[in-house]
Structure formats: structure tokens, C-alpha cells
Chains A and B, each alone.
Chain A
């Protein structure tokens, strides 16, 4: 590239850097015009932004310290400089009287202590000197120089900082996590000895050549901070003893520091080890901004960070950065974010718990950071047992599961309840293998096997109410996932009934049971019943002050039950609930979060139902974009977003895009769920409606397949009604009016009753009837129906002309 060209690139880069990231594309459009390579060059340079501290630390610093190499301090002689930090410099030192190498940390000039501080410094030092753990670098000695500069003498560790060690060896995620767990055990040891580190960071964790981590500077930050507090010198140059990047919100707010602060700092360390990026992505040097981010901003999930910063991951030596986000999504996201919670009480209660979760993740066990999520356990089980389960195997496992439960129950008289709960978890793991996203076509006949399980819960567990509630709830969720509606209802009713009976008033288990019961009522088309369940659950949850994400789920569920009822007032309430959840989720989880995508999809659905496809479209596009990013291309959640966006494009008259979206949804759903699944039938119905004008016979085949599926899985009746309505239109198109008429009328009635008169489904069906009326010359009847259609005032109503 020519010199002029390079100058041009740099100048554009100057200007682009001045702009907020969002404005840069427009600026580059204007500045580069048709010159694609110029633009590419600038974009590439802009994209290197994340490389935090490159060149930031001067090679030689006029503001730095005088070297003290060669000096003697106490019995030690400084051999060479090992490094410098905000508080001073660390030297390799030797004892003069015998051959012994140590690390000596000498505070910089200006941090000299007064007599009182010196005394406190000595006392603290004594405590630290007693920390004796293989992974903690011992504090050996310390004192003050003649000029009252404090110094500390520590075990000299010949190792590399944690991050560099991982990077240089290209350690796998597993190896990183194992190393991290060792670091945790050292921190936990110190905590048990009432010592908080307060400055945990990769630079304070050296890894020796044989892979042992050694923690440096335990308690030193506190020691110095207290020693210096009286004189507030520490902050004189804006540098406290802590390293801001790893500091917890309470440290940034200068609030009391506890072991929870170390949990937070370990969270940052883990975040970086797993993604190669720090959580807040503030440009280096902007300390105020970083401090604010630490106090206020929710960090993006590690999986999100991994997606945005593949370069950072590869420069951190993480193998296969392309797959990283998939491997972080789920457990590791949850673990890291739990550690990084803003409020100490929301974090892990101890470093041990953090380490335990990391170990559980490594062992393929459910982690505490996300227990309770149901789909999650299913996925976990399947990953632990990669092969799909054959019928017999499933049978054996299920019986074994119940066997284990019984044994544990029997022993429960002498053992703690925890064991029994474990057993139920175990069972849940076993049967949840049928989660479609996790198991890709797992065996669905497990339903029959589980039915006996339900009976056994009824009969065998009468004397163990808590376990009974839990098992019934678990089975209900499993049945629901398997599409066994009657069994779902029975299980969840049993769970709710047992929970109310056992707990009486407000209790989280009752709220959960209510929520689950509401979910199956939605499935079975009883939306007002679902609404009242969700309202009760939400109110109870509010009184209990339970976890906020649970609350979002309940709000969403309530909104869904309202949406399905279709009346304008219900839709408006649903919209405000969805919007509230969307805003809060965006705030909490960032714009690219899967839960945000769910909220977007809900809002898109709502607008679509109102007949406002134009308003629906942007929500759905965004939802689809996020889901593709987060879940990849082969996921039922992506399919459901495609399916709905297809409907919207169809309503807007873009048959071509609608078709390709339906194709994508259908392909994914068939592969994931099998041929005979309600969701597959839905997409087939959509595709049939779209293809009807050009390819009526293809449409007919699709509808027959869909109706056959609906027949086998008695779905909410309106789903089948939609297919029947389209079938009516097909019959009408073939001139078979006598068959078409009852088919159209009946399906319209069902849709109107199930989903409300003024939502797209019923309106669509009504329009088909009008078309038939017109073809048959029943103008007056058609006009009358059209008036009632117009009364609905569906916005932008332009659905399927032929269907």
C-alpha cells in the first residue's frame, strides 16, 4: 500500500475513532464511497480496538522509580528488578548471610509510614506470615527501611502470570478451569484463615513450570491500605492499592471489603481466562469510566463476549475460538455471572462454592448457578451420555431411577433430605433425555414408561410430600416436553394440589407449581385459566421477593396467556408486560441475549396477531438475528423465529422470503423434532397456505400431513383448525364447495373461540369464508361478514390472497 494510502487510512481512522461506534458505518459510507479496500482497511484497524494495553505501558517511564538494584535492605540485597506496580517495585533479592532467594517488594517513595502505621504494618504482617498453603506464596519477612519505606519479603516464585501461562500454552477450556479451581482452593484457604486477598488478578497468580499456581500478595493490599489510610497517600496519584480492572463494585465504592470481593475478582479472572476479554471493555486509561462500569453495568455473558471478540480469544490462546461461544453458553455463563453479581449477596456465598460449581461443570453435573432450569438438566444429561438412548436402555434407566429413589427414601429416615433430592434430580436427568434441542431425535416412547412413574408417585410417595411435589412437577415438565398433554396435566395438577396442601400459603414451591400449571393450561388452550394461575403465581412471587429472572418468566407467561385470549384489552396489557420485560432484560443482560430475543419474539407475535405485520417485522428480525448468533443454525428456537417471521413476510406480500423462511423452519424442525411433531405440522400449515395459489396439490399434501399429526397429538384445537381452514380454501379452489363450506365455517368458529375474533387467525379464516361466499355469488352474506371483519380494525391486514 502506498504511503499516501496509508496516511489516508490513518486519518480516516482518527476521525472514525472520534465517533461513537454506532455512527462509524455511516461515516465510512460517506468517506470511502466506492473504495471498498480503503474501507476494509479502516474497519480492520477499528476492529483491533479490543487489544487493551498494547503499548500502553511505556518501555521507559520518566515518571517511574529510581532503581534500587544493588541496595541492601535489612539482610537482603536487591539483585534485579522483577516488576513494578502502582505501589512500588518487586525485586529479586538475596539474603546476605546465606544463599536464599526471595522476592522483595519495596514501596515507592512517598508511601513512607509514620510510627503508628509502622506498628500496624508489623502486626498485620505477622498474621499473613502464618498462611501456609502449597498454593500461597509465603510472606517471609518485612519491615521498613531507614527512611520508613515499607517492604515485604516473600517466597520467590519462578513462574508466569496465570493469563500468560494459559495463553502461551494454548490451554484448553478444561485445563483453564482446572487451574482456576486450584486457585480458588488457595483463596478459600486464606479466607478460612480470615485473610482476604483484595487484589486478585492474573499477575498475582504465578504458575510454575509444573503447572502449580501460586498466589502472591495475599492480604497485602489490605495491609498497605490500612497502613497508609491515615495519610491517604495511596490515592494521591489516583492509584489505590487495588487494581481497578479486577476490583469489585464495593471496592470501587470504597465500601467494606469481604471475601465476596475476592469472589468477584476471581469472576473477572475467570471471565478473562475464558474469553480473552475483560468484562467491561472500557478503553484503557479511562479509569473513571471503568469504575462506573464496575458499579453499574451488567457485563455481557462470556458467550456473548466470545462471539464479539474472536480475535481476543485467539490471542489469549484459547483453542478453537470459533466454537467458544457455544461452549461458554449455559453453565459457564451462569457461573461467571453469578461470581460477577453487583451485590455481594447475589454472588456465590464462598469461593468454595464457586470452585465447586466449576468442578461440577467439569464433571458434567448440574451447576448451582443455574439449577432449576429444566431444559438445562436435560441437555446436561445428554452431553454426559452422548449416544441417543434406545427404548430398552431408556426403560432400564428409568426403572433404575425409581429404584434409586425408593432406596434413598427408605434410607431417608437416617439420612438427610438432600440425598432424596439428588435422586429426583437424577431421575429428571434420565428422563429429560428427550429434550429435542439436546438430544436431536431422542426416543419419544419413553412417555409410556413414565406413565407408570406417575402412578408410583401417587401411590408410593404419599408420605413424602415434598418429594412428591418435586417429582410430580418434574414429571409434568417432562411429559410436557414430550408432548403428552394428558399426562402433563395430571402430573402438574398433582404437584399443585400437593404443594398447596403441604405448604398452605405463600411458598416458592407453590408459586412454581402454579406457574407450571399455567403453562400446561396454555398448551391445552385454556388461556383464561392460565391467566389466573399466572396472576396468582406472580402475586405470590412478588410477596416472596423471589429471584427476578423467575419474575420475568412469570410476567411473560401471564402476557402469553393474555395474548392468546385475543381481546384488545388483553392484548394491550400483554404488550405492556412484554415491553417491561424486554426493557429490563436488555438492561440486565445486554442487547444480544437469548432472553431478550424471546421478549422480542413475543412482541413481534403480538403485533402480528393484531394484524400489524409491519410493526411485527423489526422485532422478529432482531429476535432471529440474536437466536442465530446464540444458538447457531440448527436449533428449534431459531426455527420458531423463522416460522413467525415467515408469517409476517407472507402477510406483507413477500412470498419469496416467506417461503425460504418456512423452508428453513421446516428443515430444522423435522431434523430436530421428527416428522410427527406439532411444531412441524404448524410450519407445514404455513407453507401450505403460502403455496396454495400456485401449487394447490402440494399444499394439500402438506395439510394432510399436518392434520394427521394434529390427529395423533391432540393439540390445542385451534392449531388444527388453522390447517382445516386452509384445507377449506383448497377445497373451495377445486370447486368442492359443499365440502369446503362446513370445513371453513367450523374452523373459523374454533379459531374465533380459542384465540379471539380480532386476531389474525380468525380474521384470516373469516376472509376465506368471504371469498367462498363471493365465488358462490352470495354477495350480501359476503358484505355482512366483511363488515364484521372491518370492525376488528386489524392493522395492515393483507394476508394470503389465495388462502
Chain B
């Protein structure tokens, strides 16, 4: 995909200008690039290695997160930023698709495998987004764990390394956070909170 950066820039502009279709096409490209970056970051053993993002992610990052620096002091910060970026992109995408026909979209963007079979209005990313805002206010560390786990797909071991915690702590906090978020979603949907 040699033409990726230029294409991404073009699509980003179109999206910012209000063309919702652009996001659909943008997404795979951005994900691809971000994944590549993240992989390379994971491959680096040194924690304090300075990582220079490519122009692509700069661009996206600047537009979406509105930050000026292009440089990440460490990998952990990069991941946090990337997770925020993913969240913005994915939530925006979900918002756009929430009225679209079910099943025709991009399956990975749904909270798949939600449960055996979650009925009723299944919590979508949009609601999750609100719950995450609440979680961030309550417990920023736990929020970071969720972001890295869910929005980037780091394993618990990787998260432990990034955040300087034990794997057990990460696992436990993640499990508690999942429950907490689940309940927030249930509340948001006005469902009787599960017992």
C-alpha cells in the first residue's frame, strides 16, 4: 500500500468535511498502519525507546486528538495515545453505523462475543464510550487498562509491562472494570441491573 499516506490524508479531509463514507474506507487503512506501528513498538524491548510515529499517525492524531507533539516519550505513552485515537475512530464509526442495517457492517467494531447471546439493545460502542468517560473519572488507572486491553488488544502481560504492574493486578482490575462497565451500560439502557 504505497499510496497509503496520501490516500489517508485525502480521506481524513473528506471525513472532517462531513463525508461519512470516507470513514469506512479510512478505517482499514488507519487500523493497518496503527497496527503496524503498535507491533513494531511491541517488538522493542527497551521501555524508554523513543518512538517516532509515521506521518500518517501524526496526521490522524493531530486532527482527532488535537495535540501538538509528534513525539512520544515512551512506548506506554504511545499506546495510551493510540488507544484514545482508536476509541475516537471506532466510536465515531459506530455512531454512524448504529442506525445502519444490523449485520451488514464491520463485525469487529461491535462488541462481539458479548455474551452467549446478548439480547435487547446490545450495548454499542457509543454507550460504552459514555461509560468509559465515567470510569476515567472514577479510576484513571483502570481506565487505562481497559483502553489498552479493549481498544488496542494488548494482552494482560503486555499491559502489565506498559503500566509497571503485576499481571495479576492487571487481570483483577480488568475483571472488576468489565463488570463495572457492564453495569453502567445496563443502567444507561434502562435495563434492570443484572443480579
Contacts and interface: CB of A to CB of B under 8 A. Distances in A.
B38 A62 contact: yes
Interface string A47-59: 1110111111111
A60 B179 contact: no
Contacts of B138: 3, 6-7, 10
* B35, B117, B120, B142 interface centre (most CB from chain A within 10 Å): B117
Given A18-B172, A83-B107, A276-B117, A10 B194 contact: no
Contacts of B153: 58-64
A51 B194 contact: yes
Contact of B150 (A59, A84, A158): A59
A317 B120 contact: yes
B84 to A, nearest CB: 12
B146 interface: yes
A44 B118 contact: no
A477 B76 CA distance: 74
A288 interface: no
Contact of A62 (B39, B111, B125, B137): B39
B115 A55 contact: no
Interface in A18-73: 18, 44-49, 51-64, 66-67, 69
Interface stretch (B12-20, B26-34, B62-70): B26-34
A55 B146 contact: yes
B150 A315 contact: no
B107 A81 contact: yes
Interface string B156-190: 00000000000000001101111111110000000
B194 A66 contact: no
Which DSSP category, helix, strand, loop or mixed, fits chain A's interface?
Answer: mixed
Interface residues of A, number: 60
A89 to B, nearest CB: 10
B117 A84 contact: no
Contacts of A612: none
A60 B86 contact: yes
Given A7-B139, A59-B151, A60-B152, A53 B31 contact: no
A315 B194 contact: yes
A316 interface: yes
Contact of A312 (B38, B116, B152): B116
A314 interface: yes
A45 B149 contact: no
Contacts of B86: 59-60
A84 B110 CA distance: 13
A6 B138 CA distance: 7
B183 A59 contact: no
Contacts of A159: 103
A17 interface: yes
Contact of B113 (A14, A53, A61): A53
Contacts, number: 170
Given A10-B180, A60-B86, A62-B154, A166 B175 contact: no
Interface residues of B, number: 53
A52 B114 CA distance: 7
A666 interface: no
B109 interface: yes
B193 interface: yes
A143 interface: no
B45 interface: no
A44 B113 contact: no
Contact of B31 (A67, A84, A312, A316): A67
B23 interface: no
Contacts of A46: 179
A72 B39 CA distance: 26
Contacts of A81: 28, 106-108
Nearest to B112: A57
A82 interface: yes
Contact of A60 (B39, B117, B151): B151
Contacts of A14: 172-173, 176
Given A67-B31, A80-B106, A13 B117 contact: no
* B42, B155, B179 interface centre (most CB from chain A within 10 Å): B179
Interface in A670-720: none
A7 B180 CA distance: 11
Contacts of B102: 160
A170 interface: yes
Given A13-B179, A53-B114, A316-B119, A82 B107 contact: yes
B11 interface: no
B28 A67 contact: yes
A64 B172 contact: no
Interface of A: 3, 6-7, 9-10, 13-14, 17-18, 44-49, 51-64, 66-67, 69, 80-84, 158-161, 163-164, 166-168, 170, 202, 272, 276-278, 283, 310-312, 314-317
Given A81-B28, A314-B119, 9 more contacts: A10-B176, A13-B179, A58-B151, A83-B108, A161-B117, A170-B119, A272-B117, A315-B115, A315-B120
27 contacts: A3-B137, A7-B139, A17-B175, A46-B179, A48-B179, A49-B179, A54-B178, A58-B149, A59-B109, A59-B151, A60-B31, A60-B108, A62-B39, A82-B107, A84-B108, A166-B117, A168-B119, A272-B117, A276-B115, A283-B175, A310-B195, A312-B115, A312-B116, A315-B116, A315-B120, A315-B194, A316-B119
